[in-house]
Amino acid sequence: MSKNDDLRSKSAEELNKELLELRRAQFGLRMQLATQSLTKPSEIERVRRRIARVHTFINQKAKGGAK
């Protein structure tokens, strides 16, 4: 199952929970970056893209255009 299929199968409420979890992870990564304890800088980009992907599916569900 791909990342998109996983998100597509979730409800709007589950997507909002996923978004909250990702925002917390992003905050933690930013704090690690500030304290210079971040070991994988690419993780910030991965989380940022995942947040954008979740936002896309939330907007599709809100418009009723989810396929």
What string of DSSP letters covers 33-48?
A: HHTT--S-THHHHHHH
Instruction: Give tens-digit pLDDT for 31-47.
Output: 999 999 999 999 999 99
Question: What is the mean predicted confidence (pLDDT) over 49-64?
Answer: 93
Contacts of 39 (CB under 8 A, 6+ apart): none
Looking at per-residue pLDDT, the higher value among 50 and 64 belongs to 50
CA–CA gap between residue 46 and residue 28 (Å, rounded): 14
Q: How confident is the prediction for the chain on average, in pLDDT?
A: 91
- Per domain, the residue ranges of the chain are 3-63
Instruction: Give tens-digit pLDDT for 8-27.
Output: 888 989 999 999 999 999 99
Q: Does domain 3-63 have CATH number 1.10.287?
A: yes
pTM: 0.86
CB 7 within 8 A of CB 16: no
